[in-house]
Amino acid sequence: MNSDFEEFEFVVGGSSPHASGEPPQPTGSPILSEEAAFGRKNCANCTKPHSALWCEECAENDVGQLRVFYCTESCRAQHAAAHKHVCETRRRLSRAVLIFRELWTTFEEETFVTSVCFANERNGKVLLTLKDRDSHERAWTGNSFLRQFPGDVVPGNATDAVKKAVLFDNTCSEVVSVGIPFINILLKPITKDIKEAEVCIKDPAMIVVLTHGSNDSHLGHCVLRVTLQTGETFAIDFTGAQYGWRNQLYTWNTYIEHRAKTVNGVTPLGTTSLQESAVYSLFAPNSIAKATRAFRTNIVRDGLVRSLVTYFVQHQSSMKDLLSLPGSSFVRERAQLVNFVKDSIRRRVQELCDLGVGRPYFDRNFEPHYTTTAEEGLKYQGVWLSKEQYNANKGKLNALKRIWNKRLSGSS
């Protein structure tokens, strides 16, 4: 296999078993069964099982499968006062998770770096190839390391589940490292406590595995464990789509029983961020991982978080106010907020691209680097070759080097 390529395999639930020694097959479902999600459906008032009524105000169908059950209208009425605070806090949390999902998905799409090329599909398996397309050409021409998602990444006929699995693959730690400022604005005002939890997942509906090289059959994964003022504890899994899971919000016990094989640890929010900062400090200055992290951190700070703050200042409101609005008012205000922030994210990405940030270049020794500041981007604006200039000298390494050195000297 060409060294520029790494082949990945998307394994779809229901496909034939792997041979002994290979990673486990997906055995789960995109959503939990009613029994798994709701248990015995005990009445919240009298504990009678198999109850058929539930509170519509805090019932969740979009980001999770949550219900508070009642056996009769009489029990619901008797429990109304006791349920009121639980209902309000659950509703705010569900709404916050919905907003987070919408905005974080846009952030991931707009800052997608990995190149993925469709290979083929056979026996219920979607084969993808991951590669750095024309890496040397991009350094000569300064093409951005960003990819258009999904158009430049996966085929147009790919299912939404496959697209989401590609988008969120290996990104779970990003939420609790790069995404902390977003968590602080969106989730902290409505929760009592937020922690990070590292788990080994089980029963994925879809997995991404390397078809060449080692694979981790333990499937380590990072989620949030949030505790509300009521004492209820929930798991928030913003990147579970990489395993084919549709929901992001679960009661903690449900997640641990049905989505996690083991819990490796629960730590304060910020632990992963500190650990990753230490790791990134060891990377070479010209590392693409370092440049990518700097770019994405900038987008979270100046595209996502700043626009959220601006929106609430302009509307003389707060996130908690928004999450507490009546149904139709929330739908309207949420749409306005989400569109405002999405536009800001895209605008900030374009601004950085226009400034030349996130573009590869060669130093005088022809070692590859990536621009991380506007100053670097400006310096190399006059050095990078046009597509036509590169094509005219393609395959003529010495000629390319002479042109590059001449331009580089002129920019100093």
Number of domains in the chain: 3
Phi, psi of 11 (to 5 degrees): -105, 120
Residues 196 and 248 in one domain: yes
Ramachandran class of 189: left when φ > 0, alpha when ψ lies in -120 to 50, beta otherwise: alpha
Which secondary structure element, helix H or strand E, spans residue 224, and what is its range? strand 220-227
Average of per-residue pLDDT across 69-82: 98
Q: What pLDDT digit, counting tens, does each position of 26-48 carry?
A: 788 999 999 999 999 999 999 99
Residues 300 and 367 in one domain: no
pTM of the predicted model as reported, rounded to 2 decimal places: 0.91
Residues 343 and 394 in one domain: no
Q: How many CB atoms lie within 10 A of CB 5?
A: 15
Q: Which of 354, 369, 392 is the last residue of a domain?
A: 354
Residues 107 and 245 in one domain: yes
Which secondary structure element, helix H or strand E, spans residue 167, and what is its range? helix 160-168
Q: What pLDDT digit, counting tens, does each position of 221-271 carry?
A: 999 999 999 999 999 999 999 889 999 999 999 999 999 999 999 999 999
Q: What pLDDT digit, counting tens, does each position of 290-337 carry?
A: 999 999 999 999 999 999 999 999 999 999 999 999 999 999 999 999
Residues 331 and 390 in one domain: no
Cis peptide leading into 24, omega within 30 of 0?
Answer: no
Mean pLDDT of the residues in the chain: 88
Average of per-residue pLDDT across 56-60: 95
How many whole angstroms separate alpha carbon 412 and alpha carbon 410?
Answer: 6
pLDDT at 125 over 70: no
- Distances in whole angstroms, Cα of residue 363 to Cα of each of 54, 269, 369, 370: 65, 39, 7, 10
Residues 24 and 75 in one domain: yes
Residue 282: DSSP 8-state: T
Contact indicator for 228, 89 with CB cutoff of 8 Å: yes
User: Which pLDDT value is given to residue 257?
Assistant: 98
Q: Which of 354, 371, 391 is the last residue of a domain?
A: 354
Q: How confident is the model at residue 129 (pLDDT cuts 50, 70, 90)?
A: low
Residues 167 and 271 in one domain: yes
Residues 316 and 261 in one domain: no
Residues 330 and 203 in one domain: no
Domain with 193, as residue range(s), is 5-277
Helices (H) and strands (E) in the chain, counts: 15, 13
Residues 244 and 270 in one domain: yes
Q: How confident is the model at residue 214 (pLDDT cuts 50, 70, 90)?
A: very low
Q: Which of 250, 277, 304 is the last residue of a domain?
A: 277
Residues 285 and 339 in one domain: yes
Residues 137 and 194 in one domain: yes
